[in-house]
C-alpha cells in the first residue's frame, strides 16, 4: 500500500481523538482520547520511517510510547485522588485552576 494511505488513517484517528477530547467530559475517556491522538502520531512516524528507510522514526515512536505511559500513570493517579476526595469526576466541575 502507498504510504499516503497510512497517513490518511493516521489523520482520521487523530481527528477522532481530538473530537473526543472536546466532546467527552469524563477525564478517563479524555485520557483514552489523548492515547488515540498519540497513537495516530506514532502511526505517522512509523509510516515516515518506512518511507525513508531509516529506523529513527521507529525509535521516536518508542519514545512516544514511554511518554504516553507516563502521562497515563500521572493522569490515572490524579483521577484516583479526585475520587478519594469525593469530588465529581467531571472536567467541567474541576475548574479551580481556571485562573
By CB under 8 A, residue 4 contacts other proteins: yes
The footprint of other proteins on this chain (CB under 8 A) covers a number of residues equal to 71
The H helix count followed by the E strand count for the chain is 3, 0
Closer residue to other proteins (CB): 46 or 99: 46
By CB under 8 A, residue 97 contacts other proteins: no
Closer residue to other proteins (CB): 86 or 99: 86
Closer residue to other proteins (CB): 66 or 99: 66
Q: How far is CA 51 from the centre of its chain?
A: 24
Tell me the closest approach of the beta carbon of residue 97 to other proteins, in angstroms.
15
Distance of alpha carbon 4 from alpha carbon 78, whole angstroms? 38
Distance of alpha carbon 72 from alpha carbon 51, whole angstroms? 30
Amino acid at each position: 500500500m502507498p504510504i499516503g494511505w497510512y497517513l490518511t488513517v493516521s489523520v482520521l484517528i487523530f481527528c477522532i481523538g481530538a473530537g473526543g477530547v472536546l466532546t467527552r467530559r469524563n477525564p478517563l475517556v479524555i485520557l483514552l482520547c489523548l492515547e488515540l491522538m498519540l497513537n495516530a502520531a506514532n502511526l505517522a512516524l512509523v509510516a515516515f520511517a518506512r518511507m525513508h528507510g531509516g529506523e529513527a522514526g521507529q525509535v521516536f515512536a518508542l519514545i512516544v510510547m514511554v511518554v504516553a505511559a507516563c502521562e497515563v500513570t500521572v493522569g490515572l493517579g490524579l483521577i484516583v485522588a479526585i475520587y478519594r476526595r469525593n469530588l465529581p469526576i467531571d472536567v467541567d466541575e474541576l475548574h479551580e485552576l481556571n485562573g
